[in-house]
């Protein structure tokens, strides 16, 4: 049900020959229905009412009224919430369209207008991005609803905007668009008349007598006897770097959100980390032996991440408490496994989720990782693709990290940290041989997970990665 109020000046209003009072229609009609009208107000109730098309006369249950400009106030009611929108428009033109902030997700109520991708006077195509909205999680584009020329922006960079906020007016025909003044026009000299008036005022200002007298310094007074000069500073204060060598920039919403969540994690969880090392020889040989056949059949490269995801799935199934979470005074055990993969982007850290990883094979995992990583880097990842997650894997090894203690991503209870592969001398069968080794770390919430479960969990991952044949035997 949509409620709308149209306020306008009515000329000699008549509704079915009666005076304008409370009127109920005798028959059912599919269009808007008039329940109450006043001298300058008509209440319309109906479904599908969004805006009034261009019209010189507006038909109202047999009567008519002429109006050149109207203001529409629409109340949109959906389930338990009601949203209010005001739209002022002219019934004489359909040329101007409005670009508004789109819906940003269930958990996002507002965002920051980060930057404009176009300028007033630029021509845009349908669905072409004209601005970017930065939220706590992702960056969302504001697109043009029609092809045309940007007439003006009605919001500024840095403004906090909500879904439905107007961003720009776009003229489909390009009429009435004012171009920004060029630099040549700004540098043009003033007109001759203005130049002459300026020249006349200059001599007056130069020849004006100086009325103020120069004040002479007062004669020096003799020093009082017994007084001594002020003591000189013996210790100098520390010299700070000059301010012109510093830059202060506001934090992005994504960076502020990451900072808040990580600090909340540190303040809430009883963080504890355990470590182990993994011999990567067999997993690397497996990838080397079958990488060409894997690409030929599945169309995607076989990486190391899919092996760790499969190993984490098995470890979570063997230690379900690592996949659980504390909620108040209860423990929620989740019978599904959604693996979050931490991805570093130029704008900040995002964590897309591989849903139902326990039902996926190597090829499906690799395809999903590649798709999510590509979307995260180009900023097209959606809120739904980052929602949820029961366990996180962070691979700092791609940046060369040798060892770290990752921080839990709330509301999860543990996170696995992968690191760089380094060839080190290891004792194998009584002999010292070079082996590609990786340190792995598990940070967990010690309120929920005991050290025994955490060590068993990490040992399971070590065993599977060092001998991938265990995946075939489910051991």
Residues annotated catalytic, as ranges: 446, 450
Any idea what the Cα angle at residue 99 is, between residues 114 and 77, rounded to 5°? 105
Candidates 351, 349, 361; CA nearest to 399 is 349
Candidates 373, 401, 362; CA nearest to 283 is 362
Q: Whole-angstrom distance between the N-terminal and C-terminal Cα of the chain?
A: 58
The tokens describing 425, both together, are 């001398």
- 10 Å Cβ neighbour count for 248? 5
The tokens describing 231, both together, are 């003591």
The tokens describing 171, both together, are 């003229």
130 within 8 A of 84, measured Cβ to Cβ: no
**Helices H / strands E in the chain, number of each:** 8, 26
CA distances from 48 to 3, 51, 57, 247, 360 (A): 10, 9, 21, 52, 44
171 within 8 A of 179, measured Cβ to Cβ: no
Number of Cα atoms under 13 Å in the Cβ half of residue 468: 15
411-427: b or e for each residue (b if 16 or more CB lie within 10 Å)? ebbbbbbbbbbeeeeee
């Amino acid at each position: 049900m949509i409620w709308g109020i149209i306020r306008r000046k009515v000329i000699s209003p008549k509704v079915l020959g009666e005076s304008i009072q409370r009127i109920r229609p005798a028959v059912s009609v599919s269009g808007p229905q008039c329940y109450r009208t006043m001298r300058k107000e008509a209440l319309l109730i109906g479904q599908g009412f969004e805006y009034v098309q261009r019209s010189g006369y507006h038909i109202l249950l047999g009567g008519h009224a002429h109006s050149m400009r109207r203001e529409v106030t629409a109340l949109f009611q959906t389930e338990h919430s009601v949203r209010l929108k005001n739209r002022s428009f002219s019934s004489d033109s359909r040329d101007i369209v409005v670009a508004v902030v789109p819906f940003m997700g269930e958990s996002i109520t507002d965002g920051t207008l980060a930057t404009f991708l176009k300028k007033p006077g630029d021509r845009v195509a349908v669905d072409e991005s004209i601005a970017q909205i930065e939220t706590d999680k992702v960056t969302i584009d504001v697109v043009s609803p029609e092809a045309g020329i940007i007439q003006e922006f009605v919001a500024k960079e840095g403004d906090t905007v909500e879904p439905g906020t107007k961003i720009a007016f776009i003229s489909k025909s390009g009429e009435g668009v004012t171009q920004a003044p060029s630099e040549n026009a700004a540098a043009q000299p003033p007109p001759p008349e203005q130049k002459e008036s300026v020249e006349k005022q200059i001599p007056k200002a130069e020849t004006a007598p100086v009325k103020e007298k120069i004040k002479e310094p007062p004669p020096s007074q003799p020093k009082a006897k017994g007084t001594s000069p002020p003591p000189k500073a013996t210790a100098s204060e520390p010299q700070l770097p000059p301010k012109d060598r510093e830059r202060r920039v506001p934090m992005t919403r994504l960076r502020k959100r990451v900072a808040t969540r990580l600090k909340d994690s540190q303040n809430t969880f009883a963080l504890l980390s355990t470590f182990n090392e993994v011999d990567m020889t067999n997993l690397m040989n497996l990838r080397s032996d079958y990488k060409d056949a894997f690409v030929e059949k599945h169309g995607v490269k076989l990486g190391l991440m899919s092996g760790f995801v499969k190993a984490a799935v098995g470890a979570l199934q063997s230690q379900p408490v690592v996949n659980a979470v504390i909620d108040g005074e209860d423990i929620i055990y989740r019978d599904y496994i959604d693996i979050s993969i931490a991805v570093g982007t130029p704008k900040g850290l995002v964590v897309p989720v591989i849903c139902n990883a326990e039902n996926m094979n190597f090829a499906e995992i690799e395809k999903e990782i590649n798709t999510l990583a590509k979307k995260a880097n180009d900023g097209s990842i959606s809120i739904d693709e980052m929602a949820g997650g029961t366990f996180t894997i962070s691979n700092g090894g791609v940046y060369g990290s040798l060892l770290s203690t990752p921080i839990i991503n709330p509301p999860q209870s543990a996170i696995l940290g992968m690191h760089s592969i380094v060839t080190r001398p290891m004792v194998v069968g009584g002999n010292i041989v070079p082996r590609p080794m990786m340190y792995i770390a598990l940070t967990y919430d010690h309120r929920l997970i005991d050290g025994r479960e955490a060590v068993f969990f990490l040992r399971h991952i070590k065993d599977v990665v060092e001998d991938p044949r265990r995946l075939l035997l489910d051991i």
